[in-house]
Structure 1
Amino acid sequence: MAYNGGPMTEAMYYVLLALMNPSHGYQLMQSITEVSKGRLQMGPGTLYGVLTRMQKDELIELAENDGRRKVYAITKEGEEALKIEYNRLLSLVQDGIILKEGDENE
């Protein structure tokens, strides 16, 4: 089952961002906290739920599994989905510029 598009959860977005460099679970949790500047701290339960779902959607793949540690990597489909989501978020921010203009008129 491939990813059907549509808005991503914040967790999905940051997992894909973090997986631009393949990494394992613990490393991923640290990367997500770092990339989100501390705004998002993902616990193992949430992370592994998201990883499982994203593997099914073919956004990520298992790059390595030595039995002790699984290393995940983003797929081409995942990169494409991430770019689409990035552009969607940019549009949201640009559309919200009206709020700043409203502040300036007060």
Structure 2
Amino acid sequence: MPLSKEVAAVTLTITGAITGLDGSGFSGISLAGSVAKLFATAIGGGAATLTALGQISAIWVGGGTLIPWALIPAAAICNVDPFELARRNLLPVTIGLVVTTVVAMFLM
């Protein structure tokens, strides 16, 4: 299967999101960067855009926006349920990831 800009962008978004599931948002940055470099070589450019896409996906998913265990400190300060906060963040963050992925496709 030939690799295109679209496939690379979607794959980096998914890779970043999966690595963000641990709750920190930063542990998967090295993997996202390595995959971005590999894909950029295959498609002939766009390494910085792909790397940023993978990093922002990991941070948005794991850095305190979607994962309930990453939301516990913020939820405790605000006196709200972390699962409710994660539920309410799901749609805006998902829309943000889709829009960011589409914009990255145009930037490459």
Tell me the TM-score normalised to structure 2 length: 0.30
The structure with the greater share of residues assigned to helix is 2
Tell me the TM-score normalised to structure 1 length: 0.30
